[in-house]
Chain A
Amino acid sequence: MPSPEDVKATIKTYILEEFLPGEDPDELTDSVELMTMGILDSISVMQLVSFVEEKFDCSFDAHELSVDHMNTLEDITKLVTSKL
């Protein structure tokens, strides 16, 4: 089972490559508000969820694709780790 650090690193790399190309990785801290700041919009959330489901062989509940659960890297890591 991947550690929370591995999960976070994988997700961070994906977000940087797909949605923040060229961004300094240090700028994407655990608490950057991805959804409320518009880095993740409704389509990129779908992309991210599909990626995570495939990568970590897990599934998301309907209500989890929301600001309450996926706004920061920390939130996403916590959510994914809870499913492994």
Chain B
Amino acid sequence: MDFGWTKEQKELRSGIEELAKGELNEGLIERDVNSEFNRKGWMQCAEAGVHGLPIPVEYGGLGRDTMTTVGVLERLGYGCRDNGLVFSINAHMWTLSIPILHFGTDEQKKRWLPGLCDGSLIGGNAMSEPSSGSDAYSLTTSARRDGDSYVLNGNKTFVSNGSEADLALVYATSDPEKGPAGISAFIVEKGTPGFEATGHVEKMGNRTSPMADLFFDDCRVPAENRLSSEGDGVSLFTHSMTWERACILSSAVGAMDRLVEMSVRHAKTRKQFGQPIGKFQMIASRIVDMKLRVETARALLYKAAWLRDQGRSIFLESAMAKLHISESWIATAQDAMHIQGGQGYMRETEVERELRDALGSRIYSGTSEIQRVLIASMMGL
């Protein structure tokens, strides 16, 4: 295992960091207040190759390995304080582009991947329903085969990118009797009759990332839009979630680096009782814990990515990475806020937003409890 980056990887990482610092942060406080998606920033990231990092060149991507991909996303998260935009890009990549890449027919890949890479198409996945969250496979949205199409009925909730999405990967059952084995996945395109996405949903954090509920009312989807075979929804979702859990918080590791640096800076300059607060052991110790968290988070992220590049399945490693990075990010954001004192609680310091943004990470892609259930099962418990 090698923790060094090649010259080319370094250039990619610093290029994205510069773009993020220079272009993606302006007007963020207002965008957060107004729940505004930065479409211009989305396109700038796509043009820089972010959306297509792990997608082969022949489908419009950069064709990079997993290590490079998470390494670049890490620096995006460091430079870009708009965690909502970064989350949208990640949701798009891991829950839609990757499933299409690994389960799509060549025709499906050619049809959708170039647009998903160049940013002209926005997408996400729709698994959660009002009555099925953690117990995802108890979904009730139905897909009835009718000739050369499927008729979808039901509704989905909490769909990231939903209100802006051109495509959504929708999980539905074509045979409830079969339980999970009856679930299939369909790519539903915006404008399909019977498909409607509500306007945006008001959220606590990640407010610049659009979200919607999706409704399907006798929505007819061509059979050629089914991803993988009928009844293969569980293996598709397992695969997609494994990638998502391993990689979706790459940028959070970069965000944590930023929070640690900010805290060190503040602890060195803010004086109380005649000395920098960093000289108080309780403050220094809190910052040491922050540093430890970010380094252990990075180690888990890199290990999962490295194993993936060795062709290994990373069910256990991805659940551990997701669990540890999300919990560490929240704790780190909370510490960063605390070290800023009263100022940290104020909008202008932009730390309270980091905490609000971080909190969602414990819920999406499977809650912390679900990651623990998974890890325990993988350990044979």
- Residues of A near any B CB (own CB < 8 A): 18, 35-36, 38, 41-47, 49-50, 53, 59-63, 65-68
The residue on B at minimum CB distance from A60 is: B313
* B235: contacting residue among A38, A44, A53, A65, CB under 8 A: A65
Is there contact, CB below 8 Å, between A49 and B235?
no
Measured between alpha carbons, how far is A49 from B228 in the docked complex, in Å? Answer: 20
* A66: contacting residue among B235, B316, B377, CB under 8 A: B235
Determine if B232 is an interface residue (Cβ-Cβ < 8 Å).
yes
CB distance from A30 to the nearest CB of B (A): 20
Question: A35-B181, A45-B238, A46-B238 known; A59 and B232 CB under 8 Å?
Answer: no
CB distance from A55 to the nearest CB of B (A): 13
Measured between alpha carbons, how far is A50 from B137 in the docked complex, in Å? Answer: 22
Determine if B378 is an interface residue (Cβ-Cβ < 8 Å).
yes
The residue on A at minimum CB distance from B379 is: A47
The residue on A at minimum CB distance from B179 is: A38
CB distance from B245 to the nearest CB of A (A): 12
Measured between alpha carbons, how far is A35 from B239 in the docked complex, in Å? Answer: 17
Which of B137, B178, B378 gathers the greatest number of chain A CB atoms within 10 Å? B378
Residues on B with beta carbons closer than 8 Å to the beta carbon of A18: 380
Is there contact, CB below 8 Å, between A53 and B313?
yes
On chain B, which size bracket covers the interface? 20 to 34
The 3 closest A-B pairs by CB, nearest first: A59-B311, A46-B315, A62-B102
Is there contact, CB below 8 Å, between A63 and B235?
yes
Q: Which of B233-272 contact A (CB under 8 A)?
A: 234-235, 237-239
* B181: contacting residue among A43, A59, A67, CB under 8 A: A67
Determine if B180 is an interface residue (Cβ-Cβ < 8 Å).
yes
Residues on B with beta carbons closer than 8 Å to the beta carbon of A66: 228-229, 232, 234-235
CB distance from A54 to the nearest CB of B (A): 9
Residues on B with beta carbons closer than 8 Å to the beta carbon of A62: 102-103, 235, 239
Question: A43-B377, A50-B378, A67-B231 known; A59 and B313 CB under 8 Å?
Answer: yes
CB distance from A47 to the nearest CB of B (A): 6
* B229: contacting residue among A46, A50, A68, CB under 8 A: A68
Determine if B284 is an interface residue (Cβ-Cβ < 8 Å).
no
Can you name 29 A-B pairs with beta carbons within 8 Å?
A: A36-B178, A36-B181, A38-B179, A42-B238, A43-B374, A43-B377, A43-B378, A45-B238, A46-B238, A46-B315, A46-B378, A47-B377, A47-B378, A47-B380, A49-B313, A50-B313, A50-B315, A50-B378, A59-B312, A60-B313, A62-B103, A62-B235, A62-B239, A63-B102, A63-B228, A65-B235, A65-B238, A65-B239, A67-B231
